[in-house]
Amino acid sequence: MSLGVLNNISAMYAENNLNSTDSSLQTVLTQLSSGSRINSGADDAAGLSLADGLSANSAALTQSSTNASEGVGLLQVADGALSQVTSLLNRAVTLATEAANGTLNTAQDSAANSEYQSILDEISNIGSTTTYNGQTVFGGTFTIFTGDGTTGGGFSDALTLSTLASDEVGDATGSAGLTYTSGAGTATSTLTYTPAATAGTDYEDLATTDLTDQSDAETALNDVYAAVQDVAAERGYTGAQINALNAVSDVESTEQVNVTSAENSITATDYASATSNLSKYEVLDQTGISALAQANSTEQLVTKLLQ
């Protein structure tokens, strides 16, 4: 090896290697302290892009699951209100049966009819005042949620609940169905729920009934019986929607776990590998400093030759 003072090639090599080692050492220390293998785009550009996409999917799935829970909350409020209506209708059946028997005197008929009308008023009040998050449950159109999440390009969910304000099915606007699609390509599954009543079916108008005489009581009794069946059908429909939403929520929760696991496998620090690299780079850093010092000392040999 020739000796010179213009350029110390050995020192330059040693310095470059030392800088590279220091950079790798800082990267490992950052990975260990943050718990993440990717802390900048320079660490793994492709992995960062994929991880960011998975993170967005996870956020969408989390919100979608929350929306489903809110939908369940709405339907549970509706079911609770319908349960109260059922109890009131059962009492109305009792009163109408007594009045239709023809054994009540005028005063008793009047008292029975008064209570009967109060029951009808309370049922109407439940229908108009039952709300969820400030919106009427049994009137107008209530959109529980409309949201999309994407995992591998194939995940979506949406639910719109149309509530009925008229006495005939089909007069409400919007759609009343749940569709859930999961999978990619041809691997799909769809869950669809349809209303219990057929469009155009008349609900019973109890507001026009009374128990003033035996004939009216018999008519009222038939209408109340029919109303009980209508409410039972709606409770069944509501219960089915709750089950459907819970099923969607369960699928989304499982999907979220899978997405989070995939993201974790890309970004999480492998501590066994990182600690091994830490030891390696610490040794290389020490030897690099020694090598640089040794390379710089060769210039002193030139001065000795000139003595």
- Domain 48-266: give its CATH code: 1.20.1330.10
pLDDT at 158: 43
Structure confidence by residue, pLDDT tens digits, 209-248:
888 889 999 999 999 999 999 999 999 999 999 999 999 8
Answer for the pair 263, 216: CB distance below 8 angstroms, yes or no. no
Residues constituting the chain: 307
Judge contact between 231 and 86, C-beta under 8 A. yes
The average pLDDT across 73-102 equals 94
Which of these, 161, 160, 157, lies nearest to 181 by C-alpha position?
157
Task: Give me the residue spans of the domains in the chain.
Answer: 9-35+274-305, 48-266
Given this model, what pLDDT does residue 115 score?
A: 95
- pTM above threshold 0.75: no
pLDDT tens track for 124-158: 999 889 998 888 888 655 454 434 444 443 334 44
* Distance (Å, whole) CA 132 – CA 135: 5
Q: Indicate if the pLDDT at residue 306 is higher than 80.
A: no
Q: Compute the mean pLDDT over every residue in the chain, rounded to the nearest whole number.
A: 78
Cα angle value 135/137/142 (rounded, 5°): 70
